[in-house]
DNA sequence: TTGAAAGCGATACCAG
DNA sequence: CTGGTATCGCTTTCAA
């Protein structure tokens, strides 16, 4: 552990500042009052009346010293924090997800929570949960499948009053926002079938970690076509031009008349490659993406897509807040079924 | 402030757990040793030799109770944290930036820092700095222009051993990674001029907050053309199809033969709109983007772009680590000049 | 209206 | 080798 001398010998570049961080005791000393009074004034404690002159002296002293309260000390004393922890997913997420996180963060901020994104490098399961628990968050929002029942238990034991998973499956003991990837695939499959397509390809990204999302989407397409004369073909695809070109090269051999491309970005990649080998979209092959990015509207043909209605950041923030206030409540499971096909020109 | 009873009356759904969080004292009690010994064992303190049987008893007790150390208490005692704070920029950032952040977070994690992203809702300048300072981070990485010299001073006074700004301009007292947007524009301008274009438009996004980046880029184009027979026209553009369509509708009237579109996303938006009104790219109008996203390679014509060489997350992480270990060192200013034109088909 | 003091959880010194 | 104990910065009774 690094040694930090409490007061370094003033270097020549920093003349007059031995530079120890001011505490409330320093403020008290300067204002000529007790630390208690400082606390009362700075927190506007209503249960106690402090004379106006005293208040002014305290505030002035705090200002002069540049006093900033110490969050860790405060929450140690209080016995709880306002930290909402969000592990950063190891998987590269798209713009849809990033937008969602931004909104959520903003909404939680409004409710006076401090959002902490924690990149847990290479830790998994219980080990990761333990690392998160050290921060004693009041709530934990876990995207994807970064946690199991044991992990949830660890967090609850460490005082987390709410654990919410955001992903394809629920976890014992935690609240869950269930992103129904299955229905995303199902909608896409049904749409393509309804438009007369029968031999349907489904892109499965090769990027590791995406399987959690792509598998249920694939499964959804399968389900949509089961019992019909339609067939489903799995198409591994890496997110790069060569991979797409390779796939496009053997496209005619595959004999497919439609493809659900996992999401809009893979769809753009693949559609481009198909057009480059002379395939006509949608005449010879229909293409459907997902996520409804701006991008899709700009393609020619305009990309059909599955619009996914993520929960508003505000709603999720309120779910968290409710769970924190009533930690005894039964785990809420909220399934997001907002998948709808946006039919444009590519299908 | 919310009142949280220390031990809630066990609700009917949670039968046998009054559920107070285990502390090192609990572990000590269960293991039949003192808290000191627990600390020694759990931290593998080498200065002190503890007998193997005792170690086992302590570890077993910790395991049984599900003990997790309390980060706040620890760093309170230690007098410093390993927190690196990164305020989330209020401005919507693109995939380039998100990738950079991910990498940085990962690299800092490897150096055993805890990265905390803090969404400071609506706070600005010194006020924001104060909110950040409450967490007593050992270092603060500020993207964009979220902080001034006073803010830096607040953070340093609160014990931050390194403040690094990542953006277009340096701030007194802080280390700086200078993203040279000026040269991005300059490169684009010079490229277009060299290819015979003379009446050059420059897209300026209407989205608020992007001005910090777009202004220097515009200025760079101006500089590249100053003293030549080329002209520069400022083109406000919102990130939506209508705005692009409006701009495209009056394009011929503008009499431009080239446009630097701020970045690849705006470039795609605009190029699409131009093509939709029958303009040929690049014959009638050349288009250049920036950021070198995958997206650009997929467009037809393939999008020329300015590739921006962001510092590797690893390098920046090392800069932070160095600054933390030697807080007296003079502020490093590292200018990122890695802007190079990638000439494809649209120019 | 203000002050003294206890204590949150963990660590590290100094005795034993 | 192990156990008291002071301490980090802050809040909050309880007394004065």
Write out chain A residues lying below 8 Å of B110, CB-based.
121
The pLDDT confidence band at residue B98, using thresholds 50, 70 and 90, is confident
pLDDT digits (tens, 9 = 90+) for A290-321: 999 999 999 999 999 999 988 888 999 999 99
Q: Which nucleotides of D are covered by protein (CB under 7 A)?
A: 1-5, 7-13
Top residue of A26, A103, A119 to mutate, by most chain B CBs within 10 Å, is: A119
- Assess B106–A contact: CB distance below 8 Å, yes or no: yes
What size, in residues, is chain A?
347
Which comes out higher in pLDDT, residue B47 or A296? A296
- With pLDDT > 70 as the criterion, what percentage of chain B qualifies? 94
Which comes out higher in pLDDT, residue A19 or B146? B146
Tell whether B13 is covered by a domain. Answer: no
Q: In terms of domains, do A191 and A303 share one? A: yes
Question: A183 and A218 in contact (C-beta within 8 Å)?
Answer: no
Strand (E) or helix (H) holding A201: strand A199-205
Tell whether A16 is covered by a domain. Answer: no
Strand (E) or helix (H) holding B290: strand B286-290
pLDDT greater than 70 at residue B56 = yes
> What domain range is B292 assigned to?
181-308
Q: Tell me, what's the pLDDT at B9?
A: 32
Judged by CB atoms closer than 8 Å, whether chains meet at A239 and B118 is answered as no
- Assess B81–A contact: CB distance below 8 Å, yes or no: yes
- With pLDDT > 90 as the criterion, what percentage of chain A qualifies? 72
Question: Which of B11, B34, B69 marks a domain boundary?
Answer: B69
Judged by CB atoms closer than 8 Å, whether chains meet at B114 and A110 is answered as no
Specify the CATH number for the domain of residue B150: 3.40.50.2300
Q: Tell me, what's the pLDDT at A288?
A: 98
Nearest residue on chain A to B84, alpha-carbon basis: A118
The pLDDT confidence band at residue B11, using thresholds 50, 70 and 90, is very low
CA B81 to chain centre: 21
Sheet containing A175-179: which strands, arranged edge to edge? A114-118, A83-87, A139-143, A162-167, A175-179, A333-336
Tell whether A159 is covered by a domain. Answer: yes
Q: In terms of domains, do A172 and A61 share one? A: no
Q: In terms of domains, do A186 and A230 share one? A: yes
pLDDT digits (tens, 9 = 90+) for A65-99: 999 999 999 999 999 999 999 998 877 778 888 88
Q: Tell me, what's the pLDDT at B117?
A: 85
Domain tally, chain B:
3
Residues 6+ apart with CB under 8 A from A34: A28
* CA-angle at B176, arms to B162 and B182, nearest 5°: 165
pLDDT greater than 60 at residue B335 = yes
- Candidate from A4, A99, A110 with C-beta closest to B79: A4
pLDDT greater than 80 at residue B13 = no
Q: Which residue in this structure is represented by tokens 């302590």?
A: B58
pLDDT greater than 90 at residue B256 = yes
pLDDT greater than 90 at residue B15 = no
Residues with CB under 7 A from strand C: A 1, 32-37, 40, 48-51, 53-54, 73, 76-77, 79; B 21, 23-25, 35-36, 38-39, 42-43, 45, 47, 67, 69-70, 73-74, 76-78
Secondary structure letter of residue A8 according to DSSP: P
| Across A93-97, A199-203, B219-223, B269-273, least confident range | A93-97
- Candidate from B4, B134, B239 with C-beta closest to A71: B134
Q: In terms of domains, do A175 and A186 share one? A: no
Specify the CATH number for the domain of residue A63: 1.10.260.40
Q: In terms of domains, do B130 and B246 share one? A: no
The pLDDT confidence band at residue A181, using thresholds 50, 70 and 90, is very high
Q: Tell me, what's the pLDDT at A14?
A: 30
pTM here? 0.85
Residues 6+ apart with CB under 8 A from A152: A129, A163, A171, A172, A173, A174
Spatial separation of the C-alpha atoms in residues B215 and A125, rounded to whole Å: 46
Tell whether B344 is covered by a domain. Answer: no
Q: Which residue in this structure is represented by tokens 């996203």?
A: B293
Q: Tell me, what's the pLDDT at A192?
A: 98
- Assess B73–A contact: CB distance below 8 Å, yes or no: yes
- Assess A249–B contact: CB distance below 8 Å, yes or no: no
| Across B141-145, B250-254, B319-323, least confident range | B141-145
Residue A259 pairs in a beta bridge with A201, A287
Nearest residue on chain A to B298, alpha-carbon basis: A272
Average pLDDT over residues B134-151: 92
Write out chain B residues lying below 8 Å of A115, CB-based.
117-119
Q: Is B61 helix (H, G, I), strand (E, B) or coil?
A: helix
- Candidate from B4, B110, B298 with C-beta closest to A121: B110
Tell whether B16 is covered by a domain. Answer: no
Those of residues 287-346 in B touching chain A at CB distance below 8 A are: 294-295, 297-298, 300, 325, 328, 330
pLDDT digits (tens, 9 = 90+) for B232-251: 999 999 999 999 999 999 99
Tell whether B18 is covered by a domain. Answer: no
Write out chain B residues lying below 8 Å of A130, CB-based.
68
Nearest residue on chain B to A68, alpha-carbon basis: B134
Judged by CB atoms closer than 8 Å, whether chains meet at A2 and B105 is answered as no
- Distance of A49 CA from C3 C1′ (whole Å): 14
Q: Tell me, what's the pLDDT at A17?
A: 41
Q: Tell me, what's the pLDDT at B19?
A: 64
Q: In terms of domains, do A63 and A110 share one? A: no
Tell whether A6 is covered by a domain. Answer: no
Checking each nucleotide's C1' against the CA of B6, the nearest proves to be C8
Q: In terms of domains, do A215 and A231 share one? A: yes
The pLDDT confidence band at residue A222, using thresholds 50, 70 and 90, is very high
Spatial separation of the C-alpha atoms in residues A175 and A228, rounded to whole Å: 37
Q: In terms of domains, do B230 and B150 share one? A: no
Residue with nearest Cα to nucleotide C3 C1': A34
The two structure tokens encoding residue B173:
């007292």
pLDDT greater than 50 at residue B252 = yes
Q: Tell me, what's the pLDDT at B16?
A: 34
Q: Which of these, A135, A136, A43, lies nearest to B4 by C-alpha position?
A: A136
Average pLDDT over residues A239-264: 97
Q: Tell me, what's the pLDDT at A7?
A: 34
Q: In terms of domains, do A168 and A258 share one? A: no
Judged by CB atoms closer than 8 Å, whether chains meet at A157 and B115 is answered as no
Which comes out higher in pLDDT, residue A122 or A208? A208
Average pLDDT over residues A259-279: 97
Beta-carbon-side half-sphere exposure of residue B52 (alpha carbons within 13 Å): 0
- Candidate from A73, A116, A153 with C-beta closest to B76: A73
- Name the average pLDDT for chain B: 90
User: How far does A173 lie from chain B, in Å, by closest CA?
Assistant: 11
User: How far does A168 lie from chain B, in Å, by closest CA?
Assistant: 23
- Assess A80–B contact: CB distance below 8 Å, yes or no: yes
Question: Which of A15, A38, A69 marks a domain boundary?
Answer: A69
The pLDDT confidence band at residue A19, using thresholds 50, 70 and 90, is low
Q: In terms of domains, do A205 and A164 share one? A: no
Write out chain B residues lying below 8 Å of A159, CB-based.
21
- Assess A241–B contact: CB distance below 8 Å, yes or no: yes
- Name the average pLDDT for chain A: 90
The two structure tokens encoding residue B275:
């093509």
Q: Which residue in this structure is represented by tokens 């090192």?
A: B24
pLDDT greater than 80 at residue A122 = no
Write out chain B residues lying below 8 Å of A326, CB-based.
none
The two structure tokens encoding residue A24:
């409330």
pLDDT greater than 60 at residue A34 = yes
> How many Cβ atoms from other residues are within 10 Å of residue A7's Cβ?
9
Q: In terms of domains, do A195 and A228 share one? A: yes
Q: In terms of domains, do B152 and B89 share one? A: yes
Tell whether A166 is covered by a domain. Answer: yes
- Distance of B96 CA from D1 C1′ (whole Å): 56
pLDDT digits (tens, 9 = 90+) for B196-225: 999 999 999 999 889 989 999 999 999 999
């Amino acid at each position: 552990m690094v040694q930090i001398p409490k007061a370094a010998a003033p270097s020549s570049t920093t003349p007059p500042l031995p530079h120890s961080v001011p505490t409330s005791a320093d403020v008290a000393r300067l204002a000529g009052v007790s630390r208690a009074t400082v606390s009362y004034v700075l927190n506007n404690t209503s249960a106690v009346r402090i004379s106006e002159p005293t208040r002014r002296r305290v505030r002035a002293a705090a200002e002069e010293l540049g006093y900033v309260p110490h969050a860790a000390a405060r929450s140690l004393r209080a016995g709880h924090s306002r930290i909402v922890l969000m592990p950063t997913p190891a998987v590269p997420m798209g713009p849809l997800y990033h937008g969602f996180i931004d909104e959520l963060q903003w909404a939680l901020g409004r409710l006076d929570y401090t959002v902490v994104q924690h990149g847990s490098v290479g830790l998994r399961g219980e080990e990761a949960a333990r690392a998160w628990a050290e921060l004693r968050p009041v709530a934990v929002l876990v995207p994807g499948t970064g946690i199991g029942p044991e992990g949830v238990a660890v967090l609850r034991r460490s005082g987390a009053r709410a654990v919410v998973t955001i992903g394809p499956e629920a976890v014992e003991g935690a609240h869950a926002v269930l992103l129904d990837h299955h229905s995303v695939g199902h909608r896409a499959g049904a749409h393509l079938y309804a438009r007369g397509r029968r031999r349907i390809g489904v892109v499965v990204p090769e990027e590791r970690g995406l399987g959690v999302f792509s598998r249920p989407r694939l499964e959804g397409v399968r389900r949509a076509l089961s019992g019909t004369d339609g067939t489903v073909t799995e198409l591994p695809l890496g997110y790069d031009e060569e991979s797409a070109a390779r796939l496009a090269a053997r496209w005619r051999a595959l004999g497919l008349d439609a493809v659900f491309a996992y999401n809009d970005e893979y769809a753009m990649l693949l559609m481009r490659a198909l057009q480059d080998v002379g395939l006509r979209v949608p005449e010879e092959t229909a293409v459907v993406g997902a996520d409804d990015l701006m991008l899709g509207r700009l393609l020619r043909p305009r990309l059909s897509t599955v619009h996914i209605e993520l929960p508003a950041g505000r709603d999720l923030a309120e779910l968290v807040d409710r769970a924190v206030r009533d930690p005894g409540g039964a785990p809420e499971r909220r399934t997001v079924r907002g998948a709808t096909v946006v039919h444009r020109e590519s299908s």
